[in-house]
A and B are shown apart, each in its own frame.
Chain A
């Protein structure tokens, strides 16, 4: 069964404040000592990735579509 995605994905693209909140929450989690002067560029990159992700997330896919990489044991 294919569940239609919400369209457009409501939280994307991110605004500056939301992207900043994501960065401020995630960077301590992943443990990167980020200098304050890098924050603006990092936020810009998070927004760019979110804009790209929106294109992907807004495209309906059947649940039967498997991820591309195949691991051979």
Chain B
């Protein structure tokens, strides 16, 4: 086979294996991705930049190395794309913003882009996102919304909307996103993809545009758990360019994913995580728990306050980051983002300090739960993808603003940096939903093992739009 089948998108692992075996060239894999993008993206709007010339040159170089007998990397020939807050050499780092288009082009790729390419992957473009990552919708006033490939009138989820949409449309097998309060997990749920938000401080943030320093994470999205693991392993390792990264050696998950979940203590999050959403969101968690034989439940203490504290810190830190721009050109922001940022400048410092002290208290209480369990299951979102432009959602009979409330179940988890695998679970015939598989800090391996078990059981499965 010299080209891949356009009707059945390949996984990253499938492409890398085929390239390594000489059954597929990197050039053919990249040309397939570029053709898919050209055919599908006009209707989905996942991409803001397609780096075709660079990708073709890179793929040709990989093929030349293979022809010379060199060993390809574990992601040889795998096309991937990144949320446009990652630095891409030669492009201004847009971060979804009109203002950022005036930045000088990045002089080098972001750290994680370099690491994926060092493993043989090939960057094919940059992806649409909510302005400055301050959304859960995938909407963008400047670039237009990235659309949910399963129903293009629906949200892709945010803020890594293009990262979920590009996968679910079958354009590329691997994308990168960022997750501050849920921005990898929400698009995974709405688009039906797997996603990994690693432990806070695990992966380098160098060469990416920030949002909230206290909570920003970067991570992969893919259509299989093996692909998540391949990308995650390739991106691990200390980076002196990221002062927030926790010094810690790489802990590869390769070879651990198929160990199964039978020996793990798995519980379902009750209380806060068992109410305030559409019934199918909780049905997805039940399906996952049944497949895993998980019968116990745990209460994550004070989750509502955790979400509230994350909300306060986010609003304040984001406002602080943007204050200079807000003072000189506020009209150039997406109005939905601008008014939240302006409001954030009024928050008393004492409130933020208190929220950071609560974060310490909450971390200690939640970590104590992991003395009793290895993994906790919770819903990813309180609803399926709303319509683009929909301002409100109804939760337990109460109408609430959509934009901040889509993340009610993700925020209390990223607040203390726990690793989470988002696992798409089909409930009925509707749009996708996902379950959060939550582990203790630095135990991405356990979250991914459980995700792989759900995938093997047929309960967790990425959905590609037909």
A interface with B by C-beta (< 8 Å) = 22-23, 26-27, 30-35, 38, 41-46, 48-49, 51-57, 59, 61, 65-69
Contact = CB atoms under 8 A, between A and B. Distances in A.
B360 A67 contact: yes
A61 B355 CA distance: 10
A62 B150 CA distance: 49
A69 B356 CA distance: 7
Interface stretch (B171-179, B250-258, B324-332): B324-332
Given A34-B330, A35-B331, A53-B351, A27 B305 contact: no
Interface stretch (B83-91, B340-348, B434-442, B456-464): B340-348
Nearest to A26: B346
Given A48-B404, A61-B361, A53 B347 contact: yes
Given A30-B323, A56-B354, A67-B357, A38 B338 contact: yes
B111 to A, nearest CB: 19
Contact of A45 (B305, B308, B343, B359): B343
Given A53-B308, A53-B347, A65 B339 contact: no
B110 to A, nearest CB: 23
A52 B345 CA distance: 15
Given A33-B327, A35-B331, A49-B315, A59 B342 contact: no
Given A34-B330, A34-B342, A65 B347 contact: no
Contacts of A23: 343, 346
Grouping DSSP codes into helix (H, G, I), strand (E, B) and loop, the A interface class, with mixed when no group exceeds half, is helix
Residue in A22, A26, A32, A48 whose Cβ sees the most chain B Cβ within 10 Å: A32
Given A32-B326, A32-B327, A59-B302, A45 B339 contact: yes
B313 to A, nearest CB: 9
A26 B358 contact: no
B417 to A, nearest CB: 9
B357 A38 contact: no
Interface string B346-390: 110001011111111101000000000000000000000000000
B331 A59 contact: no
A56 B351 contact: yes
Given A26-B345, A56-B305, 11 more contacts: A30-B323, A31-B327, A34-B342, A42-B343, A48-B404, A56-B351, A57-B354, A59-B302, A59-B358, A67-B356, A69-B214
A58 B302 CA distance: 12
B343 A49 contact: yes
Contacts of A59: 302, 305, 358
